[in-house]
Each structure stands twice: as C-alpha cells, then as structure tokens.
Structure 1
Amino acid sequence: MSQLLQPRSINRELARVAIDTAVAASIERNCLTCIAVLDPSGHLVSYDRMDGAPFQSAQLAQDKAYSVAGNGKATHEFWQMIRDEAWLVHGVGKVEGLVFLGGGVPIYFEDELIGAIGVSGKSNMDEDRAIAEAAVDAVLERLSAVAVS
C-alpha cells in the first residue's frame, strides 16, 4: 500500500461547467454574481465576474470557496458548528479568508472533496447558495455521464 495520497481534483473543463451553470442560474434569478471554483487545496481553478457584479464580491466569492476547501463543509453550515463556543465566535475573524456567509458549497464526488465553489454578488445568501448548488449539480451530472460512457 502506498503511503502517498492521490487526491482527485476538479479540472478547468469541469470548473467551466460550474461557472457557466452558475451564470445561467444567476440570470434566472436576476442576480449579478462573481463565481469562484477552487480545487480541494484552495487553489483557484476558474473565476468569472458577471457584468455589473460588485467588485467587492470578487474576493468574497473566492473566500467562500476557500473556506469550503479548507473545511469540507458549506459555508452556511459553519455557524452551527461554532455558535455555542464563544472563543471560536470571537476568534474566527482572525482566520484570513474564512467566511460564514452562505454561498460556499463543496463539490463531493464518490465521497471525496474534489473542489469548492463560491458565489457572491448582487444577490442574497440564499440566492448565492442556490446558484452554487446548481453549479455543483451540473458538475456531478457531467461526471456521472462520463462514468456511464
């Protein structure tokens, strides 16, 4: 048995499937968003900013995805994990790039974290989350279609 890890990761092609789906989902909801797709190590694979999306949302979308890549959980789940731990609540602001705002969603395939997506913009957190989840669904559909072929 090898002592080396062989993690799988989302590639650029799949990241673009996520981006294109997120843009379409944003348009359906009349939202203007920034979308970031990261690999499980927190490296940016692909990014897009829709025309008119707030420039401040660019970093926030990346931070949402970065938070997911580091923890393996959706950003909307973080508050439940720390809300009863005062020292965590007060210390969380010290962790660079960690955000608790909804819109960061993990991409799991066969129980393995292969990437993360973050969405932010002229939208609310529920919309960000729904857009990110639509993007994840599209990636998983593509992977399933390839596995069947």
Structure 2
Amino acid sequence: MSTKSNPVITLKGAHTAIAAAEARAKEIGVPMNIAVLDSACHLVAFSRMDGAKITSINIAIDKAFTAAGHRAPTSVYKEAVWPGGPAFSIWNSNGGRFLTIAGGVPIMQDGVVVGAIGCSTGTPSQDEDVAKKGVEAVEKTLKPRMKL
C-alpha cells in the first residue's frame, strides 16, 4: 500500500510570510493581524501588530481558514454572495468561519495549496494587498517537489 502526502507550509515559511506582510502593512501605515494556516486549516503562526484591531484577530484566522480550505482567495466571492447570488449565505458554513471578505490568500507549491495567509484590520483591498506580499515572499522560497 502506498500513501501520498501533500506538502504543508513550515513554521519557517510561515514566519517568512508574516515578515513580508508586516513590512507591507508598515509601508501602507495599517497595523494588521496576520494568520498563517497549513493546508489542513490549522494555525501555524500568528502576528498581531501593535495597533491592530482586537476584533480582527479571528477574522484574519478565518480568512486564512477559508483560503486554505477552499483553495481560493477570499476575494473571489465578492459578487457571488449577494442575495440571489450562487453562493448567498455561504458564510454560514463551517460553523460561521467561512469568510467572503478579501484578505485571505492561499500559498501554493507546484499547484498545490500548502497553506494560506489571512490579514485583517484595514479595508478589504488593504488586507488583500498585505496578504499577497506575504504569499509572494514565501512562494519565492519554496522549491519544486520531486515527482515520485
């Protein structure tokens, strides 16, 4: 019997993502809550910058949860979640953790989701901008996996 394992983000990778996201948040002047989850939606690392909104802690975590678990940025749901839309009320799924606000972005390696980053405190576009900087930084460090 053979098993196949999927890659997951490491703590070092999570710290790389957080450092880049924090740097971008400082550039735009918006302190953030930044969460990195693995591909199984478990928290790997978290940062609450000085001045980040306390009420945004769980939002950042749940944005990463949504991006990792659904393997898509949370921003893709913007048009689909309005009343009458194909994904209306999806936010009620997964115990209310499914977030459709921009700021959650998956981290990919060889086309496979290895984790996700979620950012919250700013506007949705600021949150997504900061999250993307974290993703870009960590994806640069990931090496292609050997095919078995």
TM-score by length of 1: 0.88
Q: Which amino acid aligns with 2:65?
A: Y
Matched, 1:29 2:33: no
- Residue number in structure 2 paired with 1:94: 92
Displacement of 1:78: 1.9
How many residue pairs match? The answer is: 143
Q: CA RMSD, aligned part only? A: 2.1
Q: How far apart, CA to CA, are the structure 1 residues paired with 2:57 and 2:129?
A: 18
Q: Which amino acid aligns with 1:101?
A: I
Change (3 A) 1:26 1:110: same
- Segments ≥4 residues shifted beyond 3 Å: 79-88
- Residue number in structure 2 paired with 1:69: 68
Q: Which amino acid aligns with 1:100?
A: T
Q: How far apart, CA to CA, are the structure 2 residues paired with 1:82 and 1:51?
A: 32
Displacement of 1:85: 5.2
- Residue number in structure 2 paired with 1:131: 130
Asked if structure 1 preserves the Cα contact closer than 8 Å seen for 2:81 and 2:100, the reply is no
- Residue number in structure 2 paired with 1:15: 14
Q: How far apart, CA to CA, are the structure 2 residues paired with 1:59 and 1:105?
A: 16
Aligned residue for 1:10, secondary structure, equals coil
- The percentage of aligned residue pairs carrying the same residue is 32
Q: How far apart, CA to CA, are the structure 2 residues paired with 1:124 and 1:88?
A: 22
Q: How far apart, CA to CA, are the structure 2 residues paired with 1:112 and 1:87?
A: 26
Structure that is richer in helix per residue: 1
Displacement of 1:80: 4.1
Displacement of 1:93: 3.4
Unaligned regions of 5+ residues in structure 1, if any? none
> Any idea what the Cα deviations from partners look like across 1:76-96, whole Å, max 9, x if unmatched?
00234555855741x323222
Displacement of 1:136: 0.5
Unaligned regions of 5+ residues in structure 2, if any? none
Q: How far apart, CA to CA, are the structure 1 residues paired with 2:90 and 2:16?
A: 32
Asked if structure 1 preserves the Cα contact closer than 8 Å seen for 2:79 and 2:85, the reply is no
